């Protein structure tokens, strides 16, 4: 019988999809990712008011607010994406990227009435064909597109929104722009994962801990369970397992992107209009490690966390290591007013303390 591995060393990781919000909320949640020893993260632009981050000047101001929130000793490097709208000028894309604060463009879809499919997406793109000049410039200059590929229209079944968007939006897009680099964000549909793994195109995907740990039944545990509600919503068990199989196989097209999305308990517990989002920042490393351990795939954990396609975000693979040990611990229920995913349960892997005596928050 093969002896269990009880200690793992991997290079410091990069979170390819993270929400830190702004103001007091950012001061609360950003330290959680820093203390998970991430070298940096791609910070999502869908703030409370999305037009806060749709010009380079606003992006620079947000970048500085993030940096000012970090402790003096931290080398955590935020990477930002421009919020793409129907009025973003194609002629300015390259110049804006060259400011140094932007590394990618983020696509959120909205329906013809301006209703988005997720938090803060109401300013998203209604007319995708109208954005083709932007994509042409992005392809020309190697600027990656980060896509929340979900159809936003109400008439589209909630559990089919990814695959509808692939067939209607993504496939025509990459046919016209065969060199456009695309990241399919927070993938949850097995059909989407199959597409990313097999398509002849420079396309990659981020996968979340929750997307690989829960299926749609989790939203109904004990009655309606808003703590397990996120966008895209969890799918059937067969989809969860297909996504997970691709990820833990070591396929380099898949990388860690937590989609950690903090909402205070009041926003999550509304009877109507419950906020979509699951907060994984305080235990993301341990969650991912648990997934790969359960699938007997710990050898693939390091590349998934720390290496796969991070060059798209203008980041280099870290030269520092972090240590994860097989050690039981109970996940806290909350960080301030924000519920933590798997709070109150026991995980059997624990990220060890910072090297070099770095201060904690």
Q: Which candidate, 46, 49, 30, places its Cα nearest to that of 38?
A: 30
Which one is catalytic: 98, 259, 311, 353? 259
Number of residues in the chain: 361
Task: Decide if 113 contacts 153 (C-beta within 8 A).
Answer: no
* Known catalytic residue at 259: yes
68 to each of 65, 98, 206, 344, how far by Cα in Å? 5, 22, 27, 32
Task: Decide if 280 contacts 261 (C-beta within 8 A).
Answer: no
Q: Locate 92 and state its tokens.
A: 């300015």
Cα gap 147→101, rounded to integer Å = 19
First to last CA, the chain: 42
CA 211 to chain centre: 11
Cα gap 165→172, rounded to integer Å = 10
Q: Locate 279 and state its tokens.
A: 């907060």
Q: Locate 49 and state its tokens.
A: 């008011």
344 to each of 218, 223, 273, 341, 350, how far by Cα in Å? 16, 18, 26, 9, 15
Alpha-carbon radius of gyration of the chain: 19
Query: At CA 316, angle to CA 314 and CA 359, rounded to 5?
Result: 110
Say what the alpha-carbon torsion angle 215, 15, 38, 55 is, to the nearest 10 degrees: -140
Q: What are phi and psi of 348, to 5 degrees?
A: -105, 10
Active site residues: 259
């Amino acid at each position: 019988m093969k002896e269990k591995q009880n200690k793992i060393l991997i290079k410091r990781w990069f979170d390819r999809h993270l929400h830190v919000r702004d103001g007091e909320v950012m001061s609360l949640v950003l330290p959680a990712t820093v203390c998970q020893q991430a070298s940096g993260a791609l910070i999502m632009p869908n703030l409370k008011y999305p037009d806060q981050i749709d010009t380079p000047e606003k992006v620079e101001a947000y970048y500085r607010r993030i940096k000012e929130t970090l402790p003096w000793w931290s080398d955590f490097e935020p990477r930002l994406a421009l919020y793409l709208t129907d009025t973003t000028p194609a002629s300015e894309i390259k110049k804006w990227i060259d400011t140094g604060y932007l590394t990618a463009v983020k696509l959120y879809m909205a329906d013809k009435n301006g209703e988005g499919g997720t938090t803060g997406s109401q300013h998203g793109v209604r007319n995708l064909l109208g954005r083709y000049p932007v994509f042409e410039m992005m392809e020309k200059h190697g600027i990656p597109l980060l896509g929340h590929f979900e159809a936003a229209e109400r008439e589209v079944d909630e559990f089919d929104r990814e695959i509808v968007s692939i067939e209607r939006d993504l496939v025509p897009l990459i046919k016209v722009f065969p060199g456009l680099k695309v990241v399919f964000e927070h993938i949850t549909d097995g059909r989407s994962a199959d597409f990313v793994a097999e398509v002849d195109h420079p396309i990659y995907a981020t996968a979340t801990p929750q997307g690989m740990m829960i299926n749609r039944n989790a939203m109904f545990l004990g009655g309606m369970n808003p703590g397990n509600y996120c966008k895209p919503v969890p799918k059937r068990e067969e989809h969860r397992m297909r996504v997970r199989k691709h990820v833990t196989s070591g396929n380099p097209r898949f990388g860690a992107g937590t989609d950690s999305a903090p909402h205070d308990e009041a926003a999550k517990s509304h009877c109507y209009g419950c906020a979509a989002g699951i907060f994984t920042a305080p235990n993301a490393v341990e969650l991912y490690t648990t997934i790969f351990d359960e699938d007997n795939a710990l050898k693939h954990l390091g590349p998934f966390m720390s290496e796969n396609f991070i060059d798209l975000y203008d980041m280099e693979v870290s030269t520092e290591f972090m240590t994860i040990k097989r050690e039981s611990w109970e996940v806290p229920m909350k960080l301030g007013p924000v519920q933590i995913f798997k709070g109150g349960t026991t995980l059997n892997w624990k990220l060890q303390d910072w090297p070099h005596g770095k201060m904690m928050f």
